Amino acid sequence: MEESNMSNAMLILVIVVAVLLMGIVIMYMILRKRMQNSDVVRINNLRKGTEQRDFSWDVLYQKLYLKYMKIPFIKTYLFKIRRRLEINNIDDEFATRLQAAKIITKSLMIIIPLTIVVVMLTHNNYLLMSIILIFELFMIDSFSDSMVNKLDNDLLLQQADFFAQMRHSYHENNMVAEAIYSTAQDTEHIEVARQAEKIYEILNASDPEIELEKYYDVAPNNYLREFAGISYLTQEFGDRKVDNTSLYLRNLENITQEMQLEILKRDKLNYVFQSLSIISIAPIVMLEPLKSWAVSNFSFTKTFYKGNMGTIAQIVIIVATFICYILIRKLQDNGSTRMVQDNQNPWQEKVYKNKFAKKLVDSVMPKPNTKDYRRDEKLLKDAGSKQKIRWVYVNKITACIVTFIVSIVLFSIIHQIQIRFIYTEPTSTYNLLGEMSEKEERKAMETTLRQNKILDQFRGKTSTIDKDIIRAMRRSKDYQGYKDDELEQEAQQILEKLETVNSEYLKWFEVLIALAFAAFGYAAPTILIKFQIKMRQMEMEDEVMSFQTIIMMLMKIERVDVEMILEWLERYADIFKEPIGSCLNNYESGAWEALEEMKEDITYEPFIRIIESMQTSVEKVPIREAFEELDADRDYYKEKRKESNERLIDRKGRIGKTIGFVPMIITFVGYLIVPLVFIGLTSMTSSFDAMSKM
């Protein structure tokens, strides 16, 4: 019966398989017939020769982009990068994804091998490993910023070529929009072609002025803003000859010269700082190799390097490295594309919306319209920061709390490291040079394990004396047969260890130190803002000289007045943006008075002279006459601009070298030379004392 059922099942299975095969054959015949259709054949013929059969990096990066979108942490960072790239790639999603995936991939190719090296070097020191791995995140963030900045620098180079071609196109047809369009079609640089096509669309829009204002907000750099603005004014008011030269082409030449100076400045800054970042972070990678070398060659330093003092020295070096690295990155900032931040709802605003956090911040933050509040407002304005005062205080409180907690945790870990060192280090009289042999080390470790048992009996008992330890040793099986002088010697060692172990707890002065660190953490955001102000002050001369170039471009255009000049200056200003904006707001109520008020707010003399020239023009003197010295001394100002850039680069370079070498000096002097000399002299003194007693 069972055999009959089995055979029936097999028969049914064979029939089902046969039916499926017949269905597949029929479907194949139908599809083949459809493939012979003329439309399908034509499409296939069109596709021939266009399919990508070779390996394509572009396709790979597009696929990687989709993969990165699925990884939580990388996804967040990917969006952060692409917000900056979208400025250069107008409505080009393919290029934005391609560049973002490239940057993430290169960053991962650096961080993964670096992480492996760090883990291999610091696998015995989990505290150091954790700190360095956290520090890597800041390094990768800076590395990705530099790659985005490189794209911005490449765009500047493309613009220089584009403007050169633009001159020839304009000579051919004398029409601004058509010259821009034809140059965009002929150029081989895709990124600048996108910007040119966007400007062409603006010039041909039904309301170009509104579209131009929108473009000013998203243009990748000031030079494209100037180009778009000058092109619009020329199309609106017409071009004219000045000294037998087209005013539009002359202005285009001014923009090109400004841009070339900026390219040279960025190249020199990158050259000066290209190795300083590596020099500043090198010490944290060298800590473990230096420690291993010192301990293997001078065993008397083991107490320092493997104890709490060595751990404290490592933490100090890492903190110094972190601070110096941040300052160097601030110094290296060359004015390229700024980080696009969420200024509407950042994490600080989300924290502030919490009821408890809001009460805490409001209790610390100065009240509006007070002297302290106005001081903080001025700091943010001087630094060119888009932050709100409440966000700054959220940063200050967060830094304070985190610093205090981290300090307490580190102090506790340092105490545990010292206790572990006492319990695990072989007990022996250290030699001045070299290491113990295997036999000596094994014997010393046996001594440590033997003493640990006695140590555990008295741990926490601060009133223990050597006699108590000797009595316990006599009762222990490990010390059977030991002579009195041997017991006294080991009892003294155990007592010294016991005093050290019992003293390793969180002390009141360590809490005070943690509070001092917390106070520094609270002040750190303000210190960073003040440092930013100092860096901006170094750029003051450069910005005023760019104002002079803008005025030279505008002064000979018909219908240009002081208000339009102020609007252009505000558009391209960074350091002086706030006073110029205030002047424009008050301009309708009185032009001369508004300029006088701005002059009182500014202390930089070259910009004050520009304001005085504007006041002269307001009093019915033509703009061309008020600023005629700029045009007459154009070559002088150009050379002065070059010399100013050289001074700026030199100052930044000197400051950067001073900051960059600080971690290296601290490492070699404080972590290697001083311990070797100090502990060596102490060990020699102890050895001589022991020899004299013998």
At 653-688, the pLDDT tens digits run 888 888 888 888 888 888 888 888 877 677 666 656
Domain parsing of the chain, residue ranges = 58-274, 425-506, 539-660
User: What is the C-alpha separation between 590 and 619, in angstroms, rounded?
Assistant: 12
User: What is the C-alpha separation between 64 and 68, in angstroms, rounded?
Assistant: 6
List 434's β-bridge partners, or say none.
Answer: 298
User: What is the C-alpha separation between 598 and 324, in angstroms, rounded?
Assistant: 36
Predicted confidence at residue 28, as pLDDT, reads 54
Predicted confidence at residue 405, as pLDDT, reads 92
Q: Quick one: tokens of 310?
A: 């060595």
Is residue 251 a contact partner of residue 166, using CB atoms and an 8 Å limit? no
Q: What mean pLDDT, rounded, does the chain reach?
A: 79
pLDDT digits (tens, 9 = 90+) for 249-299: 888 888 888 888 888 888 888 887 877 877 887 787 788 788 888 887 777
Predicted confidence at residue 29, as pLDDT, reads 63
- Residue 510 CA, chain-centre distance (Å), reads 32
Rounded mean pLDDT of 4-27? 58
User: What is the C-alpha separation between 474 and 460, in angstroms, rounded?
Assistant: 21
What is the enclosing helix (H) or strand (E) of 380?
helix 371-383
Predicted confidence at residue 37, as pLDDT, reads 54
User: Model confidence at 400, in pLDDT bands (50, 70, 90)?
Assistant: very high
| Three-state DSSP class for residue 242 | strand
Rounded mean pLDDT of 614-641? 74
Kindly tell me if the per-residue pLDDT of 96 is higher than 50.
yes
**How much of the chain exceeds pLDDT 90, in percent?**
3
Predicted confidence at residue 36, as pLDDT, reads 53
Predicted confidence at residue 345, as pLDDT, reads 62
Predicted confidence at residue 335, as pLDDT, reads 46
Predicted confidence at residue 109, as pLDDT, reads 83
**Bigger pLDDT: 554 vs 43:** 554
User: Model confidence at 404, in pLDDT bands (50, 70, 90)?
Assistant: very high
- Tally helices (H) and strands (E) across the chain: 32, 2
Q: Quick one: tokens of 659?
A: 């900051």
| Phi-psi group of 369: left, alpha or beta (phi > 0 → left; psi -120 to 50 → alpha; rest → beta) | left
Predicted confidence at residue 401, as pLDDT, reads 93
**Bigger pLDDT: 218 vs 538:** 218
Which residue has tokens 């071009």?
239
Kindly tell me if the per-residue pLDDT of 647 is higher than 50.
yes
* Helix 190-203 and helix 222-237, axial crossing angle in degrees, nearest 10: 30
Predicted confidence at residue 689, as pLDDT, reads 59
Is residue 366 a contact partner of residue 373, using CB atoms and an 8 Å limit? yes
pLDDT digits (tens, 9 = 90+) for 149-200: 788 888 888 888 888 888 888 888 788 888 888 888 888 888 888 888 888 8
Kindly tell me if the per-residue pLDDT of 350 is higher than 60.
yes
Q: Quick one: tokens of 560?
A: 């240009």
**How much of the chain exceeds pLDDT 70, in percent?**
85
pLDDT digits (tens, 9 = 90+) for 118-156: 777 777 777 667 777 777 777 777 777 778 878 888 888
User: What is the C-alpha separation between 270 and 656, in angstroms, rounded?
Assistant: 12
List 245's β-bridge partners, or say none.
Answer: 242
List 242's β-bridge partners, or say none.
Answer: 245
What is the enclosing helix (H) or strand (E) of 246?
strand 245-246
DSSP letter (8 states) at residue 50: T
**Bigger pLDDT: 362 vs 50:** 362
Which residue has tokens 């003040």?
530
Predicted confidence at residue 342, as pLDDT, reads 44
What is the enclosing helix (H) or strand (E) of 138?
helix 126-173
Predicted confidence at residue 675, as pLDDT, reads 80
Which residue has tokens 């082409």?
249
